[in-house]
Amino acid sequence: MEPFISLGKISKTFYGVKALDNINLTLLPGEVHCLAGQNGCGKSTLIKIISGVYKPDPGFEIAIEGKPYAHLSPIDSVKAGIQVIYQDLSLFPNLTVAENIGIHQHHHNLLVNKREIRRIAGLTMKSIDARLDLDANVDSLPIAQRQIVAICRALAQEARLIIMDEPTASLTMQEVKGLLRVIGDLKKRNICVVFVSHRLDEVLEISDRISVLKNGSLIGTYPASDINNKKLAFLMTGKEFSYAVLPPIEKIGEVALKVSSLTKHQQYKDISFQLHQGEILAITGLLGAGRTELCLSLFGLTKPDSGEILLEGKAVHFASNRDAVKAGIGYVSEDRMSTGLVMDQSINDNIISTVLSRLKTPFRLLDRAKSDRIVSDLIEQLSIKIGSVDLPVNTLSGGNAQRVAIAKWLAINPKVLILDSPTVGVDIANKAGIYQIISALSRKGIAVLMITDEIDEAFFNSHRILVMRKGEIVAELLPEKTSEAALAEVVNG
Amino acid sequence: MVKKIGVKTHELFLGLTIILIGGYLSYASADFLTLGNLYDLINNYAMLTILACGLFIVLISGGIDISFPAMTIISQYVMVTLIQGTSGNFALAFALSGGLGLLLGLVNATLVNRLKVPSIIITISTLNIFYGLLLYLTKGVWLYSYPAWFEEGVMLFKFTAADGYDYGLSLPIITLLVVVSLTGFIMNKTSIGRMIYAMGGNREAASRMGFGIFKMQLFVYGYMGLMSGVAGVVQSATVLTVAPDSLLGYELTVLAAVVLGGTSIVGGRGTLLGTLLGVVLLAVIQNGLNLTGVSSYWHTVVTGVVIVTSISMTAWSQRKGEGAVA
């Protein structure tokens, strides 16, 4: 088959540093091609070369459908049918679905033809069997539907190659399935889809071929059928990862958190469990199972209708999350970027944000010495790799940012630490690091409640697993007495 | 969906408030609901409406421009100076004043684009620079003399009503109608208008789509400048005086009207209808306070309270709407 695009001898040097080194890659029509690699491996640089944003170092060869390009500009790239869907989707939240999909029409015409835009949007949506309200504003849609809008927009511009950067990072498992179905449709239409993802299992499920990048070099391109989760992780990182369940806790600690018959209308019902000191309890389940809603109540952000929460044997009633923090509950939110961290603020300020009231000098000013001590201790404890504590958090990779998010809550010396999807958007090597941190915390006696929708995450990294479905706990499993497959079956019901 | 309903709710709310206040005023004051009062109201608020149209577009684009009072004064000052002794007509006045305003607007756009400094800082600076230059060059001298054709003004479809006064389409009213239609047309029917909405919603995405950001900024700030020039002619025609310091602080009044109309100051959201209703509400309140003899010291307090109430009502109803969906 003639490749849609073939790239030869692609290198890219930034200020003397080789970001890409002699990459040779072909992308075929109708294939789903995954670009795998850790943060900083050169994936984004390669994408920017394909979309014409960066010009590779001299000596490169780029041909699209057999036609060589001595220079590929962003406009050439779009004209050739190359569309990138960035992780942030780049939609216009204030405009309607139809206008977002047909936005390129504004380029060609002086006046707006609303009917034509609606027609194009409707047709495009129908072609991938999507049903969204054309007149809804994009900001009223959930992320998964916005993604559909972004895909439709790419299609409306006659895309032949769609590059999706981390399309599943903020989707639930159920939504990922929907997306994978759409990608299957695109494939049938002979469109090439390049997929960048950290979630290895879905990479393997969807891809035809996988290209692995490491430190700017192409390790190789493999048919997905020749590769498994373990091998891919090895190719990406050069490290073997052990896949073993956590050893059972040697001696069970006191009960740190006890929840009995906790109920909130339409969110969760009759939830009872105990969480011990030093234990990692995973709560898993599908979208809408009520996991996050339950956590929000445990953290005092919403009020349960009935039932009881006991912290170290004492009943607590949180009027707000302030009370929860005071009582010693930390909550690492699943949305690091918007609710977990203040991305523009420094690492230092993020970490001490939870303990400002304890860092006062007698004159009620900030006790710098004490704060520096806390920050440097935590950075060492969590081995966060940073240049300076004064850099903003948005300069960090996903893995390091997540460590900062955890550090912020460790600063309060929590009795109970709630981790909501702790490895969202974190690549494989860093995932292992985060799991090590979690397990080290539990060994220090912190009671950890880990919410996750990744079955392997729950299975390999907890002492006990609760499965929720439609707001209720439907099963309690011990990893050493069950299998990953059995757990998946319970979760999917 | 929620947001869209939100905007409409806001307009509905403004409309109801206007009717409510208007209803009260026509009961409390015999002068409110008279042809004479309403006619004067429209004439007097034409300049504010024209400026509000310009600022509306700037806000939608995700920027802000508060240098327009200076542009308005400079344009009309120069225009009035140049037309002395000519036997021109209003087309000439508009061309001169509008042209100069446009030019000043383009300066704003270029600075905002090239210096990559928030537009509020740029336009605070240009407000001061423009004003300062004008005061320096004119030594603050007022202008009173106009050519005869200018003093005569324009009046189409003139008629004399039962109250003995003349009514018709005056220059401010004609200009107002043209500007409102033009602004509505640009923002709803042209591609550039929709692209301005898009840019205000997500600038990064707009630039990734290949929209010419600088071109759009030139358009937006240029339009604001043009509107300032046009408003300058209207102001001159109404008061037949140019006082260099007459519009000091006016930027906040116009901003208040646009924001009251539901236009977001972070860009992307708002409608021209809302803006117009904002102006009307402001006008009715100020007029009402005058007619009912409330001390002028209270006027600004009442205006402030109305803005806070209106904006928080909308925010509150939107939040409630979202809560119901979630």
Q: What letter represents residue A244's amino acid?
A: A
Instruction: Select the highest-mean-pLDDT range: A24-28, A170-174, A224-228.
Output: A24-28
Q: Does A254 touch chain B (CB under 8 A)?
A: no
Give the pLDDT confidence score for residue B18 in this predicted structure. Answer: 92
Q: A92, B201: Cβ pair inside 8 Å?
A: yes
| Mean pLDDT confidence for B42-47 | 94
Nearest residue, CB atoms, A112 vs list B2, B194, B200 = B194
Report yes or no: B284 and B22 within 8 Å, Cβ to Cβ. Answer: yes
Give the pLDDT confidence score for residue B86 in this predicted structure. Answer: 84
DSSP letter for each residue of B307-325? HHHHHHHHHHHHHHHHHHH
Using CB atoms within 10 A of its CB, is residue B307 exposed (0-12), middle (13-18) or buried (19+)? middle
Give the pLDDT confidence score for residue A156 in this predicted structure. Answer: 92
Q: Give the mutation candidate from A92, A103, A105, A265 for the B interface (greatest B CB count, under 10 A).
A: A92
Give the pLDDT confidence score for residue A397 in this predicted structure. Answer: 76
Q: Does A345 touch chain B (CB under 8 A)?
A: no
Report yes or no: B28 and B284 within 8 Å, Cβ to Cβ. Answer: no
Q: Does A90 touch chain B (CB under 8 A)?
A: yes
Report yes or no: A286 and A469 within 8 Å, Cβ to Cβ. Answer: yes
Q: pLDDT per residue over A365-398, tens digit each?
A: 888 888 889 898 888 888 888 778 888 888 887 7
Q: Which fold has domain A5-237?
A: Rossmann fold (3.40.50)
Chain B neighbors of A107, CB-CB under 8 A: 191, 209-211
Residue B319 has pLDDT above 80, yes or no: no
Nearest residue, CB atoms, B4 vs list A78, A109, A137 = A137
Chain B, 244-283: which have a CB under 8 Å from a chain A CB?
268-269
Rounded to whole angstroms, the Cα distance separating A52 from A293 reads 43
Which CATH number is associated with domain A255-492? Answer: 3.40.50.300
Domain residue ranges of chain A, discontinuous segments joined by +:
5-237, 255-492
Give the pLDDT confidence score for residue B22 in this predicted structure. Answer: 92
Mean pLDDT of chain A: 88
DSSP 8-state class, residue A35:
E
| Mean pLDDT confidence for A482-491 | 85
Residue B174 has pLDDT above 80, yes or no: yes
Give the pLDDT confidence score for residue B2 in this predicted structure. Answer: 39
Q: pLDDT per residue over B8-40, tens digit each?
A: 778 888 899 899 999 999 998 888 889 899 999
Q: Give the mutation candidate from B202, B213, B265 for the A interface (greatest A CB count, under 10 A).
A: B202
**What kind and span of H or E run contains A98?**
helix A97-101
Q: A137, B3: Cβ pair inside 8 Å?
A: yes
Nearest residue, CB atoms, A94 vs list B195, B197, B209 = B197
Tokens 């399309």 belong to A167
Q: A94, B205: Cβ pair inside 8 Å?
A: no
Give the pLDDT confidence score for residue B235 in this predicted structure. Answer: 94
| Mean pLDDT confidence for B144-167 | 87
Nearest residue, CB atoms, B191 vs list A86, A110, A135 = A110
Q: pLDDT tier at A22 (50, 70, 90 boundaries)?
A: very high
Percent of chain B predicted with pLDDT > 90: 62
Distance from CA of A402 to the nearest CA of B (A): 25
Nearest residue, CB atoms, B195 vs list A93, A106, A140 = A106
Give the pLDDT confidence score for residue B318 in this predicted structure. Answer: 65
Q: pLDDT per residue over B241-293, tens digit each?
A: 999 888 888 998 899 899 989 898 889 999 999 999 999 999 999 899 988 88
**Closest chain A residue to B198, measured at CA:** A92
Chain A, 124-163: which have a CB under 8 Å from a chain B CB?
133, 135-137, 139-140
Give the pLDDT confidence score for residue B134 in this predicted structure. Answer: 92
- Classified as helix, coil or strand, A68 is strand
From residue A186, give the alpha-carbon distance in Å to each of A101, A124, A159, A202, A425. Answer: 16, 12, 10, 17, 25
Structure tokens given for A81: 């049918």
| Mean pLDDT confidence for A28-34 | 94
Q: Does B323 touch chain A (CB under 8 A)?
A: no
Domain A5-237 identical in fold to domain A255-492: yes
Q: pLDDT per residue over A94-139, tens digit each?
A: 999 999 999 988 888 889 888 999 999 999 998 888 889 999 999 8
Residue A202 has pLDDT above 50, yes or no: yes
What are the beta bridge partners of residue A32? A193
Chain A neighbors of B269, CB-CB under 8 A: 94
Give the pLDDT confidence score for residue A223 in this predicted structure. Answer: 93
Question: Higher confidence at residue B2 or residue A433?
Answer: A433
Structure tokens given for A136: 């809804």
| Mean pLDDT confidence for B64-76 | 96
Cβ count within 10 A of residue B304: 11
Give the pLDDT confidence score for residue B199 in this predicted structure. Answer: 95
| Mean pLDDT confidence for A168-182 | 78
Q: pLDDT per residue over B85-134, tens digit each?
A: 888 889 999 999 999 999 999 999 999 999 999 999 999 999 999 999 99
Quickly list H helices, A219-306: 229-237, 291-298
Class of domain B2-317: mainly alpha
